[in-house]
Amino acid sequence: MSAEAAERLATFRSRREEAARSPQGFLSLVNTQWVTEPSSVWAAKGTWAPRSDGGSGLVVTATAEDGVIVDGALVDGEAVARGKDDENPSSIVFSETSTGTVISGSEGYALRVFYQHSEDNQNFSHVDGYPYNAEMVFVAGWEEIPGGSLVGFEHLKDDGEARDEVVPGTIVLEHAGETYRLSAFKAGKALQLVFADATSGIDTYSVGRFLFCAPNPDGTITLDFNYAVLPPCAFSYQYNCPLPPANNRLPFAIEAGEKQVMAINGLLHPE
């Protein structure tokens, strides 16, 4: 085992845990509420409503006493909180320990509320993971799909309804004499591979794991499963994560990467 590779992995995992504990980290999310009509939102002050002009985000109505701050200004009346799909999303502050963001989706817009002293954050111990495993680094083939293709990914809370994601190519993985054709969708400048394997539900989180990767200039793609990570829904029930499609469910064990989110006494969210 390369000491340098193990050290890089340890640094990566330390930063992952630090990010999860942060004010808007996975562990701090206490509510995700879709707003389709004027309504209150649990753990947030003010009344929230869709924008009448069809623009990005939500409209909040609050008094100065509510203490809601949007983009640095105290709300006393109405204010627009732009969503994450806007090139300049709004910052929302409810208190010194509570903040918010607005996300978009098929249902419109939702307010997410983060609380730095959430129960999950207080109970969190660490993220359990496998030691570095050089055998879990694969160089796979990459077959680009001109214009991309749409692949339906079911999500944890969508009752079997699939959401189409743009898949720009196929990852061709050879292992133990078998060929696996995997689908990864675009996630910013990278590709997001949502996968399950023979460890899922036994040693690792049953829903599956994520691996972020990118094609190499020579037409290959490196899959370093030591950097496989747990989805946000492993940290907070308030996330709705994509599930691995059938072709991304590997029959062999990927004994690398993150395994489970641990509390002080056992799993943070027992399955």
Predicted structure pTM score? 0.94
DSSP letter for each residue of 149-198: EEEEEEBTTTTT-EEEEEEEEEEEEEETTEEEEEEEEEETTEEEEEEB-T
Given a cut of 90, is residue 159 above it in pLDDT?
Answer: no
| Mean pLDDT of all residues in 1-28 | 95
The CA angle 154-159-244, to the nearest 5 degrees, is: 25
Contacts of 234 (CB under 8 A, 6+ apart): 205, 207, 260, 261, 268, 269
Please list, residue by residue across 92-122, b when 16 or more beta carbons sit within 10 angstroms of its beta carbon and e when fewer do.
Answer: bbbeeebbbbbeeeeeebbbbbbbbebebbe
* pLDDT score for 106: 85
Residue 210's pLDDT band, with cuts at 50, 70 and 90, is very high
Local structure of residue 216 (DSSP, 8 states): -
* pLDDT score for 1: 55
* pLDDT score for 154: 94
Mean pLDDT of the chain: 96
Residue 247 burial (CB count, 10 A)? 14
Given a cut of 80, is residue 26 above it in pLDDT?
Answer: yes
Backbone angles phi, psi at 21, to 5 degrees: -85, -10
Q: What is the pLDDT of residues 84-98, one digit of tens each?
A: 999 999 999 999 999
* pLDDT score for 173: 98
